Amino acid sequence: MSQSYCFSTWLVDGTGAPAKKNALFCIQNGLIFSVQFPGSEELCALGKEFKELDFFPASTILPGLIDCHVHLAMSGKTDREFRAKQLLNGFEQNAPLIEHRLQRCLNLGIMALRDGGDIGGHALRYMRQNGFSGVRVKCAGKAWRAPGRYGKFIGNPPEPGMSLAESLKAECAHVDHIKILNSGINSLVDYGRQTEPQFGPDELVRAFRQAKELGRKIMVHANGRLPVQMALDAGCDSIEHGFFMGEENLKKMADRQIFWVPTAVTMKALSDYPTAGVQQAGTAEMILQNQLEQMRRARELGVRILSGTDAGSFGVRHGQALAQELELIAQAGFSVEQTIQSATHASAQLLGLDDELGSLRPGMPANFVVVPGPPSELPGSLAHVTAVYLRGTRILPATK
């Protein structure tokens, strides 16, 4: 039996509970055996008493992080020529890039991702071929959209003559979850313009019933009142983006405890890189402010908010973007503990990974991250990860 100890001055456990001081973890065979909170006298004795002790004073320990919305097969670079070209990449070209992005995530303490699809299905193929390498990835494969509508780089419409439900039945037995596009994207010219839903209400209801029969959860890309409302009424598991969804939809999400992944960092990225023109950057900034206002309201109403970045979008870099999204969630009024919960326990619940990730309690695998400073320095301190532990083994820094 292997046994080791890890001490950190603060603990944020991922459940939203208040941060605690002086956490001593006992790790046995990769699992958390116990968590104790020693007093100051016991603390002095710690160094002498335990041979296998990793000691992190003036640091905070928290669960491995989760990004609930990424596109692993795409780069977050802002070079438009590069962005257009990458869509033509074959699997062999994309595989090493995907591997690199996964490594970058792990170095920042990100241990699970939910992928929203790519037109080549490369992220899904990569994960099926390579398996687990430290980061769990749940994949949609390709997304589903209506003919002629937004989303050509991530998904296809159903085959002619087939309904969405029939297509899911035929093609989705091998994916981890189903991604459906039910609106367009934000206009950077015409602030607040809403787009038509991509699918009809009955079609969505039948498709979602089919997805449930397959045992798959449904993530729906939806912006604007009607597209979001239809996705909620048809029984989706999460709303992705949800820009301009409005108060009624927020209330519905709170009532039904449906997850919301606001991906606010996508608009931050567009406003920070005004390569397309000053006016568009200004519009992106206005959209961001509107989204932050919706997030504030979501907090008041008790909507379950999750951190997802849409990494792979313009200016949204895999790995780094998660801390940026968390900054925005904190800006919207969520406490440090709630902000971290959105990227840990709450996300693990949606991904069905809450028995291995998202909280730090006895019996759970010892998957955690150590960052410098007190909890009040989160989420900014996530940019300076001190150590990453995977099933009790310190993988970063890899000197042990």
Residues forming contacts to Zn ion in the complex (CB under 5 A) are 116, 310
The pair of three-digit structure tokens given for residue 7, joined into one six-digit string = 């001490």
What minimum distance in Å lies between the beta carbon of 219 and Zn ion? 9
What minimum distance in Å lies between the beta carbon of 69 and Zn ion? 6
Q: Of 119 and 162, which CB lies nearer to Zn ion in the complex structure? A: 119
Q: What is the DSSP letter of 159?
A: P
Q: Of 12 and 222, which CB lies nearer to Zn ion in the complex structure? A: 222
Q: Which residue is nearest to Zn ion (CB)?
A: 116
The pair of three-digit structure tokens given for residue 278, joined into one six-digit string = 């000053």
Q: Of 114 and 206, which CB lies nearer to Zn ion in the complex structure? A: 114
* 212: nearest Cα among 257, 254, 165: 165
Q: Of 265 and 387, which CB lies nearer to Zn ion in the complex structure? A: 265
Q: Of 25 and 150, which CB lies nearer to Zn ion in the complex structure? A: 150
The pair of three-digit structure tokens given for residue 212, joined into one six-digit string = 């449930």
In whole angstroms, what separates CA 194 from the centre of its chain?
25
31-36/20-28 β-pairing: antiparallel
Phi first, then psi: what are they for 20, rounded to 5°? -120, 160
- Measured distance CA(330)–CA(165) in Å, rounded: 38
What minimum distance in Å lies between the beta carbon of 116 and Zn ion? 4
265: CB partners within 8 A, 6+ apart: 309, 310, 316, 321, 324, 325, 328
Q: Of 116 and 134, which CB lies nearer to Zn ion in the complex structure? A: 116
What minimum distance in Å lies between the beta carbon of 240 and Zn ion? 6
What minimum distance in Å lies between the beta carbon of 10 and Zn ion? 34
What minimum distance in Å lies between the beta carbon of 319 and Zn ion? 16
Is there a contact between 353 and 67 (Cβ–Cβ < 8 Å)? no
* 52: nearest Cα among 22, 28, 23, 34: 28
